[in-house]
């Protein structure tokens, strides 16, 4: 098993990236050029079930989605904190475990607060 990690070990990612990008760009160019192209005023409108379009889609949307995004940032940062802890978990033993239980109960307290505030209520 390889235990010696060098930055140059990541070089194959570049190969994969170039391959993927090449595939995508070539496909896009080819498909753009071999298909037909017919313009029309009604055809170029956004498709909304045949009903005439009112305004455009740059409208405000429910604030719930925004709250979910903010919560995600908070919780994902907490999860990232757990990764280094989890890697060293067996070495830290009981001490690390108690610390993390403390951390998670704080997290859960915040979580409980969010739920009581009704942030995650979608029915309303």
Partner 1 sequence: MELVPFIIKSIIILVIFGLTLLIAMYSTYGERKVAGFIQDRLGPDRAGPWGLLQPLADAGKMFFKEDFIPAQANKWLFIAGPCVAMLTALMASAVIPFGDTIIYDGVEVAVQAVEANVGILYIFGIVSLGVYGLMIGGWASNNKFSLLGAIRAASQNISYEVAMGMSIVAIIMISESLSIGDIVAQQHGGNWNIWYQPLGFIIFLTCAFAECNRTPFDLPECETELVGGYHTEYSSMKLGFYLFAEYINMFVSSAVISALYFGGYNYPGMDWVAGALTDAFGTVAGHNVATLIGTAVFFGKSLFGVFFYMWVRWTLPRFRYDQLMNLGWKALIPLAMFNIVVTGLAVIFIEPALTAMLK
Could you identify the residue written with the tokens 């071999």?
34
| Residue that has been written with the tokens 């610390």 in this structure | 99
CB distance 38 to 27 below 8 Å: no
In angstroms, give the least distance from the CB of 108 to partner 1. 7
Binding to partner 1 (CB under 8 A) within 63-92 occurs at 65, 68-69, 71-72, 75-76, 79-80, 82-83, 86-90
Rounded Cα–Cα distance for residues 48 and 1 (Å): 56
Backbone angles phi, psi at 119, to 5 degrees: -65, -35
Asked if 104 touches partner 1 (CB under 8 A), the answer is yes
Q: At its nearest, how many Å lie between partner 1 and the CB of residue 92?
A: 10
**Quick count: other Cβ atoms within 10 Å of Cβ 83?**
8
Closer CB to partner 1, residue 101 or residue 113? 101
Run of H or E residues at 32: helix 11-34
Task: Tell which one of 37, 52, 63, 116 touches partner 1 (CB under 8 A).
Answer: 37
Q: Interface residues with partner 1 (CB under 8 A)?
A: 1-2, 5-6, 8-13, 15-17, 19-21, 23-24, 27-28, 30-32, 34-38, 41, 44-49, 56-59, 61, 65, 68-69, 71-72, 75-76, 79-80, 82-83, 86-90, 93-94, 97, 100-101, 104, 107-108, 111, 115, 120, 122-123
């Amino acid at each position: 098993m390889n235990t010696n990690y060098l930055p140059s070990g990541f070089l194959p990612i570049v190969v994969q990236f170039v391959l993927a990008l090449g595939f995508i760009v070539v496909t896009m160019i080819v498909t753009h050029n071999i298909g037909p192209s017919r313009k029309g005023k009604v055809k170029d409108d956004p498709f909304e079930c045949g009903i005439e379009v009112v305004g455009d889609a740059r409208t405000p949307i429910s604030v719930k989605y925004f709250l979910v995004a903010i919560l995600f940032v908070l919780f994902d940062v907490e999860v990232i904190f757990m990764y280094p802890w989890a890697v060293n978990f067996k070495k830290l033993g009981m001490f690390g475990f108690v610390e993390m239980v403390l951390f998670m109960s704080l997290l859960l307290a915040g979580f409980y607060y969010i739920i009581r505030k009704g942030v995650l209520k979608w029915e309303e």
